[in-house]
Amino acid sequence: MKLGLLLLATTLPIAAFAQDNSTTVNSSSEYPNTFSSGSANVQPFDNKARRFRDWSISVGGGPAFMTHADLTSLRKDNVKWGYNAYVSVDKQISHAFGVSLMYTRGETKQTGQLAGAAGKLAGVATATTQFDQIALMGDINFSNLLRRVDNHSPYRWAFHGYMGIGLQGFRTSLHDNNEFRWSDAPKRVPLFIKQDIDINSIFYQGGLGIKYNVSKLIDIEARTMYIISGDDEFDGGGWAGPHDYDPSTPGSKYNMINDRRSDNIWTVSLGLSFKLGKQTSHLAWHDPLQEAYYKTNVLENTATDFVVCEKGDADNDGVCDDWDRQLDTPAGARVDGAGVALDMDLDGVIDLYDKCVTVPGPVENNGCPTK
């Protein structure tokens, strides 16, 4: 029944448009792309027409770990905790898709050890990475996109997916007990690397989050992200020039502990979103399919009395008085659609009294010819 009502609602305007030969295409300089028969509710889409909030500002933070790299934060015997904090400006494009401009700052701490004699001499190396990232990120609201049509429960939890690209800058330091330590004799210093934010420092990120609609003003979200740095220097393990991967050249080869050429991090955060605007609800929490089904449900349960003849049919000719052009039709007379008694031969004598229905004649002769 609901499907039938939806189909009826969408096909009736098309059918009416196709059958109405008087329909004209209206266009104007104000709405150059508007084509309407005049019955459509066409209006400019401006701030007054917006029904939902679609801008928000989000902040959050949590731990960060260097995971897939030469030096890592998660080891069997030790976990090095870092942090990440972010702020973003979010724009909801539709009920299921949004974009964010996001700034993230964080720090990771990681350790690693070279193999063989070099590892015994240097011990366990410790590195720190401080990073700043600017990213453009897409947001897919899976809960809204995949919500069942028969799910009428309160919509307060939402599962989100994220994917983005951006630019990053970082500063790293590496300390060990051999080559990269503070020493005057021989003269040695830790390894410091600095990468400024530029076009050569592109990174990628993806992740998942779950949001809870606290109120019309605030959402709370738990989010986890995986960041692909695309840089083998990101963990502080050393420079990434061609000779740095040549075992025959001098120097500690921390970047050869792992075959990966991209040091990646994992972040977990808890954040708040502040929804901006005067509207009652945010677009991300609106389910358009549920709105359509609500309207069809209202139609199904609304009793409307259809009055055929509001003024009745005084002459009982079968034509309502609302549009009857002859309200005193004689009983038994056949009438046309306007309620007028039929006179087939147009001689002024209605067929009820006409003795010669198909041949004109005077009234005095009951509608028959005199000769």
Residue 245 phi, psi dihedral angles, 5° rounding: -110, 15
Query: Among 125-134, 203-212, 356-365, which stretch is predicted with the lowest mean pLDDT?
Result: 356-365
What pLDDT, on the 0 to 100 scale, is given for residue 142? 94
Query: Among 42-56, 129-143, 290-304, 337-351, which stretch is predicted with the lowest mean pLDDT?
Result: 290-304
pLDDT, average across residues 344-361: 84
pLDDT, one tens digit per residue, over 147-160 is: 877 777 778 999 99
Higher pLDDT, 163 or 340: 163
Give the predicted TM-score (pTM) of the model. Answer: 0.70
Residue 102 has pLDDT above 90, yes or no: yes
pLDDT, average across residues 105-111: 97
What pLDDT, on the 0 to 100 scale, is given for residue 313? 85
Residue 371 has pLDDT above 60, yes or no: yes
Confidence of residue 97 (pLDDT cuts 50, 70, 90): very high
> From 2.40.160.20, 3.40.50.261, 3.40.50.800, 3.30.540.10, which CATH number describes the 50-298 domain?
2.40.160.20
Q: At what angle do helices 2-19 and 288-300 cross, to 10 degrees?
A: 90
Residue 283 has pLDDT above 50, yes or no: yes
pLDDT, one tens digit per residue, over 22-57 is: 444 444 455 445 454 444 566 787 777 788 899 999
What pLDDT, on the 0 to 100 scale, is given for residue 229? 96
Residue 279 has pLDDT above 60, yes or no: yes
Q: Name 85's bridge partners.
A: 61, 105
pLDDT, average across residues 76-100: 95
